[in-house]
Structure 1
Amino acid sequence: MMKKFIYIFLFLVSFVGFSQDNEALFRKATDLYNAKKYEDAISKYEQILKNGEDSANLYYNLANAHYKLSHIAPSIYYYEKALQLAPNDADIKNNITFAKNMTIDAIQPLPKTDWQKFKENTIGRYTYNGWAVIGVVCMFLFVIFVSVYFLVYKSLQKRIFFILAGIMLLLCIVTNIFAYIQFDVVHDSNFAIVYVPETNVKSEPNASADEIFMLHEGTKVELMNELNGWRKIKLADGKTGWLPEPDVKKL
């Protein structure tokens, strides 16, 4: 028993030390960024990622450093990663718009369905963790209102707390459904960023196939099929084709 406790204690100590090391790296990277030493800042931020930690702030700062160096693909890639963790952050949305202005490809998205708009504008307002927290709060309030319902005696008060409990239960169910949907959106994401200056999109997954269009760095694509080192991609305007797998980086 004592040996187990020692192992657990040592693990926790090492974890705390690990986090502190990453915090020190983050502060150092931020200082380098403020000193306009962007390449050095990027190296420090990437070290934190290699250490197994990520956050919206980390991706955001990393994207900003790449943007300062006019690295189109990496800046858009890391802004997109930041948005996955903080979908409602105005600064990230604003900066990714500036970064996308550096791209060459002008792609007109297809009109969105009502369900797609609802998922993006309503469910996408919070991360799945955010919806889960709201669900827990609603369940907590549900328990309180049910408890009060049994404690009060007047019929009007009982009716009020019964209705409030019902509303909280309904909200708890809805927010958990939203959390589940948002979890699928993030973890089943099949999007990528073109990570090379330019790439020829082919009609078939081989080098001798006809070239149907060209894409440039920073363009966001949807990943579909995979075959022999080629990826079938789909653009926001509905166009599809094949390109070499190393030419894109999955979000």
Structure 2
Amino acid sequence: MRYGLILFLLMSITVYADTQKLFSEGCELYNQKKYEEALERFGEIESSGDISAELFYNIGNAHFRRGRLGFAIAYYEKAAVLNPSDEDIRQNILFTRSLVKEKQEEVPVIAPLEWWISAAGMLSFSGWMYVLVFLLYPLSLLLILRYFYGKGGVVHLSAVIAILVMMFLAANLAYTRSDWIDTVKHGVIVQTSVTVLSSPAEDGNQVFKTVEGVKVRVEDTVEEWVRVKMADGRSGWIKKEQIMVI
């Protein structure tokens, strides 16, 4: 058992070292403006499953330098899923979105609901769980003081209520993050121009056209076809190779 644990630790260290080596090589190649070679290194890491916001951010940068706006936005969005509070990622998403040729008008959302969803997106689901765990400490301390030392009063009660309210809000924000944001699939158009069809078939009627970089909601998949919904409510079918799912 002990030798097995040692072997596991040695293998983990080796994998980590290989990942770091590939990442360093990718960054160095990027700085040398060898973007395709950098993407090869980053791609090896992604294929291994050792993903991170930093990795996706750098892949997005390399695609942007190669003029692939759709892939750049998609990888920035993937990075934001893992680290929604990173300001550099947010700024890159805003900047690259501003370059998209098609400007969409989103279906209006009730202001309080829009604010709530935006707040939930500030942290990942695990991030909100950390907030809950963090709040447990002062709550436990206050309850222990109350139980063993009989210290209480209005101030003590107010503090307990305040912490419970914050825990309630954090729990609901975590639920929103998980149920409204993380479970809904999105994708980004990665081809210059895409014709959206009424059905998952080559002879389907042309409903409308969209362009590279547009973010869509993925609603269904049938073989090599994907049903997408635009921010303004329009929907239809496109080929899998025309979209990168986030």
Instruction: Report the TM-score when normalising by structure 2.
Output: 0.91
Native 8 Å contact 2:131 2:170 kept in 1: yes
User: 1: CA distance between counterparts of 2:211 and 2:163?
Assistant: 49
CA apart distance, 1:158: 4.1
Aligned residues: 246
Per the alignment, residue 177 of structure 1 pairs with 172
Q: Is 1:25–2:22 an aligned residue pair?
A: yes
**Which residue is 1:7 aligned to?**
4
Gaps of 5+ in 2: none
Deviates more, 1:69-78 or 1:89-98: 89-98
| Aligned position for 1:201 | 196
State the 1:234 CA deviation.
Answer: 0.8
2:81 aligned residue? 84
Identity of aligned residues (%): 26
Shift of 1:13: 1.9
Aligned residue for 2:121, secondary structure, equals helix
Residue of 151, 154, 159 corresponding to 1:164: 159
Q: Could you say which residue in structure 2 is the equivalent of 1:150?
A: 147
Q: Matched residues in 1 for 2:149 and 2:157: separation?
A: 11
Of 57, 68, 72, 1:60 maps to: 57
Deviation sequence 1:162-207 (CA, Å, 0-9, x none): 3323322332233123223212345313111112222211122221
1:42 and 2:5 matched: no
Change (3 A) 1:150 1:158: farther
TM-score when normalising by structure 1: 0.89
1:230 CA drift (Å): 2.2
Verify the 8 A CA contact 1:142 1:166 in the aligned structure 2.
no
Q: Verify the 8 A CA contact 1:148 1:161 in the aligned structure 2.
A: no
1:240 corresponding residue in structure 2: 235
Is 1:215 the counterpart of 2:225? The answer is no
Amino acid paired to 1:34:
N
Unpaired runs of at least 5, structure 1: none
Report the residue type matching 1:59 in the other structure: F
Within 5 Å, which residues of 2 pair with 1:89-128? 89-128=86-125
Matched-pair contact (CA < 8 Å) for 2:117–2:176:
no
**What do the CA deviations read for 1:70-107 (whole angstroms, capped 9, x no partner)?**
11111011011011122222211211222223322221
Aligned equivalents of 1:250, 1:163: Cα separation in 2: 46
Question: Among residues 179, 184, 188, which one is paired with 1:189 in the alignment?
Answer: 184
Q: Supply the AA of the counterpart residue of 1:135.
A: L
For the residue of structure 1 that corresponds to 2:173, the secondary structure is helix
C-alpha change, 1:118 and 1:209, in structure 2 (3 Å) is: same
Residue 153 (structure 1) shift = 4.4
Name the stretch that deviates more: 199-208 or 169-178: 169-178
Q: In 2, distance between residues paired with 1:13 and 1:73?
A: 39
Give secondary structure in 1 for the equivalent of 2:194.
Answer: strand
Residue in 1 that maps onto 2:132 = 135
1:122 aligned counterpart, secondary structure = helix
Letter in 1 for 2:102: D
Deviations 1:130-173 (CA, angstroms, capped at 9, x unpaired): 1111100101111111111234346xx44423332332233223
Q: Aligned AA for 1:13?
A: L
The amino acid of 1:27's aligned partner reads S
Q: Hey, what's the Cα distance between the residues in 2 that align with 1:182 and 1:74?
A: 24
Q: Relative to structure 1, is the Cα distance of residues 25 and 186 closer, same or farther in structure 2, using a 3 angstrom cutoff? A: farther
RMSD: 1.9
